[in-house]
Amino acid sequence: MSELIDGKKIAEEVFAECREDIAALAAQGITPGLAVVVVGSDPASLVYVGSKARRCQELGMASFKYELPVETSQAELLALVARLNADETVDGILVQSPPPAHIDEAAVVRAIDPAKDVDGFHPLNVAKLAMEEPDGFVPCTPLGVQRMLLASGIETDGAQVVVLGRSMIVGKPQALLLMAKGRGGNATVTVAHSRTRDLAAVTRSADILIAAIGRPNFVTADMVRDGAVVIDVGINRIADPSARSGTRLVGDVDFVAVAPKCRAITPVPGGVGPMTIAMLMSNTLKAARQRRGLRPWSVRG
Ligand code: GUN
């Protein structure tokens, strides 16, 4: 039977580290702050920003939540970002993706001060990841996946990793992170996607398969090598008449069929999801320290 990688437990370890760092900053009179902005009333986005804000408060950070109406203009959103950039009490700024269609998301991301871009989406931070510069911000989901692998003792050094999906939020930064030099990196990375020829043959070559393609139950048992590690980044809501709500969350991996073949696998929910918020908190603390010229970590190494 495969090992189940418990994202909630590993996220709690990250939160415990955050609490230590927040206490050390508090002793210096510093309260880190995160601003989360959501435009429109997409229910999933509202749930995500709500849980980010709650987690900040629970850890002892300041949180500033902006729920803007769907008709908010590009100019209004850019004006808010400019205000948050200038606000000394704000260390991190996150604009929930995806915004409504009339918003130019790339322009909004470019408007965020890179030193407060705790999502790691600004072109400067993308470049810093590619150039392996440690003071940049790495997107939270790929950073969480790397942390899960490290916490589970899964060696990436020399491993064949296949990343399924090429998004700017997960696929591309995940590939850059795992191919970078050093601990948690040094992997041989292949990025596969919906247009990859003979996809199953490619995914079967993986020691570690990271599914981030956004399609429910896309990865089937024939696509996974015996003994592989499978990380499921997908969060898909599908109809389920047997559930009380009529829907249920599933990943990109057909868990029931794939799990018995794996050395280790992440569940959905309770796998990668909790790690994303944990790394957001960790990135916000990094921003708070770097903006004040402090060492990256107050407590550890
Ligand atoms: N939407 C889905 N994931 C993310 C994320 O990590 N950051 C932001 N800003 N939006 C998202």
Q: Provide the pLDDT for residue 112.
A: 99
Which tokens go with 149? 């692998």
119 lines ligand 1 (CB under 6 A): yes
For 158-192, write each residue's pLDDT tens digit.
999 999 999 999 999 999 999 999 999 999 999 99
Give 118's pLDDT tier (boundaries 50, 70, 90).
Answer: very high
Closest protein CA for atom 2 of ligand 1:
97
Q: Are 189 and 180 in contact (CB under 8 A)?
A: no
261 C-alpha to ligand 1 centroid (Å): 31
Active-site residues, by number, are 52, 96, 119
108 lines ligand 1 (CB under 6 A): no
More confident residue, 295 or 11: 11
Sign, Cα dihedral of 242, 248, 250, 255: negative
Residue with tokens 């490619």: 202
72 C-alpha to ligand 1 centroid (Å): 19
Q: Provide the pLDDT for residue 1.
A: 61
56 C-alpha to ligand 1 centroid (Å): 16
- For 208, residues 6+ apart whose C-beta sits below 8 A from its C-beta are 149, 154, 156, 159, 160, 161, 162, 187, 228, 229, 230, 231
**Over 70: is that where the pLDDT of 297 sits?**
no
Closest protein CA for atom 3 of ligand 1:
97
61 lines ligand 1 (CB under 6 A): no
Closest protein CA for atom 4 of ligand 1:
97
For 134-149, write each residue's pLDDT tens digit.
999 999 999 999 999 9
192 lines ligand 1 (CB under 6 A): no
140 lines ligand 1 (CB under 6 A): yes
Q: Provide the pLDDT for residue 301.
A: 39
